Amino acid sequence: MSFIAKIYEKILMSTKPEYMDSHEKINEFLAGKEDQTPKSIFKSFNFNGMEVFQFGNRKSSDRTIIFMHGGAYVNEINYQHFLYCWLLSRKLNAYVLAPAYPLAPKHSCNETFELITDLYKEYSDDNLIMMGDSAGGGFALSFCQYLKTIDLNQPDNIVVFSPWVDISMSNDYDSSNDPILGEVGLREIGKSWAGDLDTKDYRVSPLYGDKEGLAKTLIFAGDNEIFYKDIEEYVKNAPDVRLIVGKGMFHIYPLFPMPETFTSFKEIKKGIM
C-alpha cells in the first residue's frame, strides 16, 4: 500500500457514515432519504426520464462504456465518479455514459433494470464495456446475467471494482477494517433495493446467478474490505474472470487518485484488448 493510500484510508475511516454500523441511524437515514438531481460540469442528456452523464466523443472513440456508479444503491453519483469517468474517457479513448439511475428506498431494482436495458440496446452495436463500482459493480454483473434471459448479446467486456455481489449479506463479516462500509447498514439497504425480490435473487445478488456465458470479466478488490470473501466466492464459480487483489487495500481503491489507480488502468487496458 502506497503512502498516499494510507492517508486516504485514515481519512475515510474518520468520515465513515454512522448509519453503516447502527440500526437506528440507518433507519433514520432511509426514512429521510429524498431523490436528488446530481449536478456536474459535465454534459448530460435525458434518457426516458433518467439523466445520463457523458464523457468523450462517441464518433471518435474506440469503445463505449456504461458505468454504473456505486453508493450502496442509496447515494447519488458524485464527483469521484465524474472524475473517474473523465479519466476513463481519456486513458481508454472511450465514450463513457454514467446513468443517474433510480435509487432506494423510493425505488427498487426493477425500475433500474428496465431503464438500463433500453440504454444498453441503444449502444449494443458499439464495442461496449459494462463497468461499475461497489453497488454499481454488482448491478453490472447481475445485468449481464439478465441479458441472457432476454436474448441480448453480452458486452465485449465487464470491468468492476469491489462489486457488491451478495446483498443478502449471508457470509460472516468483519467491517472493523473497512473504512467505508458496515454490515448493519448494508443489510437494511439491501432489503430496500431488492423490493419484492428475494435478496438472493440473481438480479440483486449476482453471486447466486448463472455465470456461464458472461463476457470476459475483470474484477478489482481490496483484501481489507467487507466484500472480499463474497467476491472470492463469486470468482471461484465464474469461468472467464480475472481477480486483481489490492494487498491491504480498501473498498473501491482504484477510484482514488493514487499510484495504485494508475496501475489498475494498465491492467484494464490489457484486459480489454
- Mean pLDDT, the chain, rounded, equals 94
* 241 within 8 A of 213, measured Cβ to Cβ: no
* In-domain check, residue 202: yes
Quick check: is 130 in a domain?
A: yes
pLDDT confidence of residue 1? 82
Would residue 29 count as lying in a domain? no
The SS3 of residue 11 is helix
Contacts by 5-11 with C-beta closer than 8 Å and gap 24+? Answer: 5/249, 5/250, 5/253, 5/256, 5/258, 5/259, 5/260, 8/250, 8/256, 8/258, 9/179, 9/250, 10/179
Question: What is the residue range of 189's domain?
Answer: 3-21+43-272
Q: Do 250 and 179 form a contact (C-beta atoms < 8 A)?
A: yes
CATH number, domain at 155?
3.40.50.1820
Structural domain includes residue 33 = no
Full-model pTM: 0.96
Confidence band for 211, pLDDT divided at 50, 70 and 90: very high
pLDDT of residue 38: 80
pLDDT digit string, tens, across residues 2-32: 888 888 899 988 889 898 999 999 999 999 9
Please state the domain count of the chain: 1
Q: Nearest 5°: CA angle at 41, between 39 and 46?
A: 60
